């Protein structure tokens, strides 16, 4: 019996074999680009989700692969995952505050995420945000992409992504943090620094990489 891990590992390996991300594989097969995203592989409470037989049939046809070839990938899925470039979910920073893109734990969720290839090994729940506008100049420019880690520890001076209870998602530098509130410094001096009560913060994640 094939396991949940083997099936998804084989899909990742099939994508890599064809020079694609999981999102690119779904697109080639005429599926929604988010069909094979990591956020689709389990529910918010951790229940496993399985790809449909229809989606598997379409990707096999689109890549000219046989069922036997796909099954052979499940046998080596664990090793294949060490060879494939890692993919991370991506969404525009301006859209990230919309309800449904993060679960209660602050991890990427929902169907609005794309996926991009990221060559470095990152933790399971890392995600990418695309910068829009000039509010973060000169540190981040319009079109830059940042990789964000929910698991990384956060210290004063770190660049962080913060989500508030009001739904705002913003990228700033952590200037100061006490037991009751945080102070955030804007990258662009034309924009005001911000201060929040910790009770008003849903999550604060550290930025670990940018495309600059």
Do residues 168 and 107 make contact, with C-beta atoms less than 8 angstroms apart? no
Q: Are residues 138 and 79 in the same domain?
A: no
**Residue written as tokens 């020079």?**
19
With beta carbons less than 8 A apart as the criterion, state whether 153 and 206 touch. yes
Closest CA to 72 of 13, 25, 23: 13
Residues 104 and 65 in one domain: no
In this prediction, residues 34-59 reach a mean pLDDT of 87
Choosing from 84, 115, 141, the residue where a domain stops is 84
Instruction: Write the CA distances from 155 to 39, 91, 115, 168, 177, integer angstroms.
Output: 28, 25, 28, 21, 8
**Nearest Cα to Cα of residue 145 among 66, 209, 71, 60:** 209
* Burial 185-196, CB ≥16 within 10 A → b, else e: bbeeeeeeebeb
Domain range spanning residue 78?
4-84
What span, in angstroms and rounded, lies between the C-alpha atoms of 50 and 28?
20
Q: Are residues 14 and 103 in the same domain?
A: no
Residue 41 shares a structural domain with residue 112: no
- CATH (domain of 14): 1.10.260.40
User: What CATH number does residue 142 fall under?
Assistant: 2.10.109.10
Give the mean model confidence (pLDDT) for residues 165-190.
95
Q: Find the range with the poorest average confidence among 32-46, 67-81, 144-158.
A: 67-81
Q: What is the pLDDT of residue 110?
A: 76
CB 10 within 8 A of CB 73: yes
pLDDT attached to residue 121: 60
Q: 46 in the Ramachandran plot: left (φ > 0), alpha (ψ -120 to 50) or beta? A: left
Is pLDDT larger for residue 119 or for residue 97? 97
Q: What's the pLDDT at 38?
A: 78
Summarised one tens digit per residue, pLDDT across range 98-143 is 888 898 888 888 778 888 877 666 677 889 999 999 999 999 999 9
pLDDT tier at 20, thresholds 50, 70, 90: confident
CA atoms within 13 A on the CB side of 134: 2
**Are residue 113 and residue 19 in the same domain, yes or no?**
no
Handedness of CA 201, 206, 211, 212 (dihedral sign): positive
- CA 81 vs CA 13, 75, 78, 111, 145: distances in Å: 7, 12, 5, 23, 24
Domain end residue (candidates: 84, 114, 133): 84
Is residue 26 classed as helix, strand or coil in its secondary structure? helix
């Amino acid at each position: 019996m094939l396991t949940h891990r083997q099936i998804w590992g084989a899909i990742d390996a099939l994508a890599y074999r064809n020079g694609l991300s999981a999102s690119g594989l779904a697109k080639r097969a005429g599926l929604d680009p988010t069909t094979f995203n990591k956020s689709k592989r389990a529910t918010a409470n951790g229940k496993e989700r399985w790809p449909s037989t229809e989606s598997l049939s379409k990707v096999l046809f689109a890549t000219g692969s046989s069922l036997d070839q796909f099954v052979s990938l499940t046998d080596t899925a664990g090793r294949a995952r060490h060879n494939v470039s890692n993919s991370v979910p991506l969404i525009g920073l301006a859209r990230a505050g919309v309800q449904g893109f993060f679960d209660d734990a602050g991890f990427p969720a929902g169907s609005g995420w794309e996926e991009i290839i990221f060559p470095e090994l990152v933790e399971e729940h890392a995600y990418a945000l695309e910068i829009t506008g000039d509010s973060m100049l000169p540190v981040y420019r319009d079109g830059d992409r940042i990789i964000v880690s929910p698991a990384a520890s956060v210290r004063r001076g770190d660049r962080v992504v913060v989500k508030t209870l009001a739904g705002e998602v913003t990228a700033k530098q952590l200037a100061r943090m006490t037991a009751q509130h945080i102070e955030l410094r804007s990258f662009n001096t034309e924009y005001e620094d911000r201060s929040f009560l910790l009770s008003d913060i849903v999550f604060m994640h550290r930025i670990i990489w940018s495309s600059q």
